[in-house]
Structure 1
Amino acid sequence: MSAAGPPIIFDPHRRAARLARASRRFGEADFLHRRAAENAVLSLEATLRDFPVVVDLSAHPGVFADLLAGSDARGRVGEPRAVGTVAEVADPGAAPLGLADGSVDLIVSLMTLHWANDLPGALTQIRRALKPDGLFLGTLLGAGTLKELRGVLTEAELETRGGASARVSPFADGFDGAGLLQRAGFALPVADVDRLTVRYSGLPALVRDLRAMAETNVLAGPLRPLNPAIVARAAMLYAERHGEADGRIPATFEIVNLAGWAPHESQPKPLKRGSAKVRLADALGVTEHREG
């Protein structure tokens, strides 16, 4: 009997349709992608290495290329090459990347991996495509993203229908990022969370931006549409629970930044257990007390 594949959380066909629709309006709400790209470029500016062969696996790869062009790192980083059609980036890792093992110096994937049905598998493919000591920089939305919207939609639907469907994606916890990289075989994994709050005139303005970014609901299975009564109640709850003095509402976004290297013999390695030459108590300048 063959092993079961990863669970299907997101509908890649629905996601591809959202991306195709958003491509016409993406420039109206590209601030999250620009923030993610800025973080990646800052990392490259601080990494004094050459990366001649660069692949961009982002759903909107032009953002990274534009910011890199004006960066101090541009002379050390090759021209990013976008890989994959809209359908392929809709579910990262679901199909082979089409990159030979050990062929790329730098792989960037911005604001795309949170739509992967098999995130560990996608990261493993990326690691295999990197040359030894090659670098991966990725970002995905974290668990705190749209926490206000998640709460008011659930409550409004429960009040109106007596039951609620999932409306906001189950994003990964930022604290799990380094563990995911390590599980996929990356060396020196690093993860940090960039939190920002965006203020809107109301719920319709927030939804417009989410649609322009292609960050709306693509959960697998039947989607029960929200009726006007639920939307109106959600907007009222949002204003009551989170509204600010000027009438605007906040929306929280978490960008999880990931960095990992393909293993190489030149990289620092932890000492073997028991090989320490100095006791921890001596290093801390404290007295060691033994029990019993």
Structure 2
Amino acid sequence: MIGGATYGRLLRASASRWRVAEGRRRSSRSVFDRSMKKKQKEWAGSCRDTRKYDYLRDEVGSRVADRVYDVARTFPLALEIGAGRGHVAQHLSKDAVERLFVTDISEATLRRNVGGEMRWHALAADEEFLPFRENTFDLVLSSMSLHWVNDLPGALRQIRAVLKPDGVFIGAMAGGETLYQLRCSLQLAETEREGGFSPRVSPYTAVADLGNLLGRAGFNVLTVDTDEVRVHYPGIMEVMTDLQGMGESNCAWNRRCLLHRDTILAAAAVYQEMYGNEDGSVPATFDILYMIGWKPHHSQAKAAKRGSATVSFGDLSKIDQNGDDKSTF
């Protein structure tokens, strides 16, 4: 654990920010009900067999950790937001991170944090309102959490603010094609049975927008890539049960809470018919977006000024594959 004196120096002078944020009411720009998301994660974190549902978070967490190891340095102090049970931390060693702060909106989940080898300290905090001082951390991590924030550009700006110059942010979040099989099946079933459909799966950020959002937040030396994780389930009920166990149920304000039994049965039939495997199982696709961004620092490489090139692209066509200049022939 990190000592109390150090802990106090890391927090903002206004320590009430998290308490104010927690009591905030819904704004006109809100997409997600954050209080509902907290309840969902509290319920998932208090389940006796919560480890049963950690497979996706553990897999994505390990891939985020791999990207940490790709950076050839040891980070003295790191922060993981939306840490859950430590799905990234358990894959890290002291060679990568010496000390770690972990935060999550759910205290119940944090109490079950498995952590890692490094020293760590847990703090209940909302990803939308980070209670830390600027220029504090050498590394900020986020895995499978940011797709639930209402103001993603604002959250990214806060992450940049708490990073030290030349600090790096490495994150992963669910992308636009996540659970498209479930989304399509529920929409078709509701349209048939109830004459219309409501959003049953939350909206996700497209990979094409992510680089632009990072750039607008003030990050540079950006890397954005996508990966597909496909999980096979016995049926649609198992998909929905596991999403609930992960704390990944829909929390959009415009969601409809009730799903009729006959609609579920129709959705199960549609799911099986359109996407079912030969062995009777059904796939669920998770489109994972990975991002890396650095807080600017004078030591970082910079792009050359426009018009400063000494060779034109046209000259490249005059060089053959062996590197010989053919311009004189």
Give the structure-2-normalised TM-score.
Answer: 0.80
The residue correspondences of 1:178-193 to structure 2 (distance < 5 A) are 178-193=211-226
Displacement of 1:34 in angstroms is 1.3
- Correspondence for 2:167 among 109, 128, 134: 134
Deviations 1:89-123 (A, max 9, x none): 79622x2x111111100011110000010000000
Structure 1 counterpart SS, 2:95: helix
Q: Is 1:120 matched up with 2:153? A: yes
What is the CA-CA distance between 1:284 and the residue it aligns to?
Answer: 4.1
Partner secondary structure for residue 204 of structure 1 = helix
* Alpha-carbon distance between aligned partners in 2 of 1:80 and 1:282, rounded to the nearest angstrom: 51
1:233 maps onto 2:266 in alignment: yes
Matches for 1:87-98 after TM superposition, within 5 Å: 92-93=127-128, 95=129, 97-98=130-131
Kindly indicate whether residue 33 of structure 2 is the aligned counterpart of residue 26 of structure 1. no
Report the equivalent of 2:96. Answer: 76
For residues 235 and 91 of structure 1, the distance between their equivalents in structure 2, rounded to whole angstroms, comes to 35
Please give the per-residue CA displacement for 1:185-231, whole angstroms capped at 9, x wherever unaligned: 00111111110211111111111110111111101146241010100
Deviation (angstroms), 1:6? 7.1
**Paired AA for residue 42 in structure 1:** D
Determine the structure 2 residue equivalent to 1:57: 81
1:91–1:117: 8 Å Cα contact kept in structure 2?
no
In 2, the alpha carbon distance for the partners of 1:6 and 1:47 equals 40
RMSD: 2.0
Partner of 1:40, secondary structure, is: helix
Structure-1 separation of matches of 2:60 and 2:35: 25
SS in 2 for 1:193: strand
Q: 1:48 to 1:222 in 2, by over 3 A?
A: closer
How far off its partner does 1:27 sit? 1.2
- Equivalent residue for 1:47? 71
CA contact (8 A) 2:137 2:164 kept: yes
Q: Distance in 2 between matches of 1:26 and 1:284?
A: 59
Determine whether 1:67 maps to 2:91. Answer: yes
Which one of 204, 223, 227 corresponds to residue 256 of structure 2? 223
Tell me what 2:140 maps to. 107
List, as ranges, runs of 4+ consecutive aligned residues in structure 1 with deviation greater than 3 Å: 87-91
CA distance in 1, matches of 2:85, 2:240: 23
Identity of aligned residues (%): 36
CA distance in 2, matches of 1:216, 1:91: 18
Q: 1:52 to 1:63 in 2, by over 3 A?
A: same
How many residue pairs get aligned? The number is 277
Q: Is 1:11 matched up with 2:46?
A: no
Aligned residue in 1 for 2:305: 272
Structure 2: which amino acid aligns with 1:158?
T
Q: Which amino acid aligns with 1:78?
A: E
Q: Residues 20 and 156 from structure 1, CA distance in 2 versus in 1: closer, same or farther, beyond 3 angstroms? A: same
DSSP 3-state at the match of 2:218: coil
Displacement of 1:61 in angstroms is 4.7
Q: Are residues 1:159 and 2:192 paired?
A: yes
Query: Relative to structure 1, is the Cα distance of residues 41 and 190 closer, same or farther in structure 2, using a 3 angstrom cutoff?
Result: same
Give secondary structure in 2 for the equivalent of 1:259.
Answer: strand
Task: Give the match for residue 86 of structure 1.
Answer: 106
CA distance in 2, matches of 1:85, 1:17: 9
Matched, 1:168 2:192: no
Aligned to 1:36: 60
Structure 1: runs of 5 or more not aligned: 287-292
Structure 1 residue 81: Cα displacement: 1.1
Going from structure 1 to structure 2, the CA distance change for 1:104 and 1:34 (only over 3 Å counts) comes to same
| 8 Å Cα contact 1:136-1:260 kept in structure 2 | yes
Q: Which residue of 2 aligns with 1:290?
A: none
Distance 1:269 1:133, change over 3 A: same
